[in-house]
Amino acid sequence: MGERHNEGVVPDPGDNSDSYVHVPSPLLSVSSIQTESMGRDAVMECAGVTSPVPAEGGQDPLFMEGQRRLRESAEFSKPSSTEDWVRQAMVAMKMAPCDVCDVVEKSYPDHDSIEFWRSIEESSDFRTRCHKKFYKRMVLRFREVFPDEPALRNTRTMNFLKMLLHIEGTDDTVEVLFDKYIRVLKFFGPVKLQGNRCVLLQQLQLMIDKSLKYNSNAKKEKISWFAGDMSRQEAENRLSPEPRGTYLIRMSQNNADRGDFALSVKQNDVLYHIEIKGQPLKALTQEPFSSCLVFQDKEYSSLVEIVEELKYGPVTVTDEEAETEIWCERICPGLPLNGVISGYKRTKART
């Protein structure tokens, strides 16, 4: 399964999708296929307090929802003063669930992960308390729930988590968005205790420890094959000037709701994008944890396991013309997460 682009053909700049040739596999669970249609709109809506339903008369939609629930409440009484009216509205708003976040939760129905998010100390802003949490408070909660987790003491792993959550900055006001949190879980696993470790942090630690390989151009420098969030077009721009056999693995942007990755590789003058299908709901049922990634009609426990197998044989891609064998021989240099994963910061040479 794969898609290719000739280097001489300029792709449509507006087309950044990962349009693979999908071949149904018996390894895919029904529940994972269903995730494709669940939560897509919610993930787009949940970046802030915006509601998918337009506000009435310019009022904040969450405020309007609180007022509706307040009016329907059996305990509702006509306020005797403005202060009483505001107090009742505040109480109703704090108890009113957000419909957008409710849809996002349903797209990843893991009780432990959702309860962990809810247990993080909330901000004082009731309009965004379900959407956002302070990153510093999230880390503190990780330490309380998983006191023996070694990844929490690994700077590279925690910086990796911040990059995946699209967090910028280091001050106490840096916030995590709920949809970004759920998105990371779909790719890497739940916030759940297994043994004495957190599944999510353990999987991120595995990526940090096992994705680094020696660069073919600089034997003393290790680089990672993991590119993180990257569009197909950016992957092609990076691979085009590189020699044959150069590859990277990236998070699919179009299929993020089901935890898909893509192997992008250059073979002669052709660029291929080969699907690595995620099954986040099936992965939730595995003990010990497995990501249940499907690649070339075979199931793997992690990206690391897939890349290890790439060393020993070619990837077979079938298109309209014929079958092509592709060897992944060289990691694409200069990927965005290299500094975070390796912990190496390039400095200017002394003169």
Average pLDDT, the chain: 80
Among left, alpha and beta (phi > 0; psi -120 to 50; other), residue 153 is alpha
Let me know if residue 177 belongs to a domain: no
Give the position of tokens 């150069």. Answer: 246
Q: What are phi and psi of 225, to 5 degrees?
A: -85, -5
**Residue from 305, 289, 296 nearest 275 by CA:** 296
Q: Which two tokens stand for residue 90?
A: 């505040």
Q: How far apart are CA 244 and CA 185, in angstroms?
A: 33
* Cα angle: 248, vertex 252, 256; to 5 degrees: 150
Task: Report the CATH number that the domain containing residue 334 is assigned in CATH.
Answer: 3.30.505.10
The pLDDT value given to residue 44: 36
Let me know if residue 83 belongs to a domain: no
What's the rounded mean pLDDT across residues 11-21?
Answer: 54
* pLDDT exceeds 60 at position 76: no
Let me know if residue 221 belongs to a domain: yes
The pLDDT value given to residue 68: 57
The pLDDT value given to residue 95: 47
State the Rg of the chain over Cα. 23
Q: Which two tokens stand for residue 247?
A: 């590859």
Q: How far apart are CA 177 and CA 308, in angstroms?
A: 33
pTM: 0.73
Let me know if residue 300 belongs to a domain: yes
Let me know if residue 111 belongs to a domain: no
Let me know if residue 307 belongs to a domain: yes
Of 8-17, 153-162, 183-192, 299-308, which range is least confident?
Answer: 8-17
Let me know if residue 223 belongs to a domain: yes
Q: What residue numbers bound the domain in which 322 lies?
A: 3-33+211-342
- Work out how many domains the chain is built from and give that number: 1
Residue 52 CB contacts under 8 Å (≥ 6 apart), including other chains: 41, 45, 99, 100
Q: What is the pLDDT of residues 111-121, one digit of tens each?
A: 999 999 999 98
Q: What is the pLDDT of residues 247-282, one digit of tens each?
A: 999 999 889 999 999 999 999 889 999 999 999 999
Let me know if residue 175 belongs to a domain: no
SS3 state of residue 132: strand
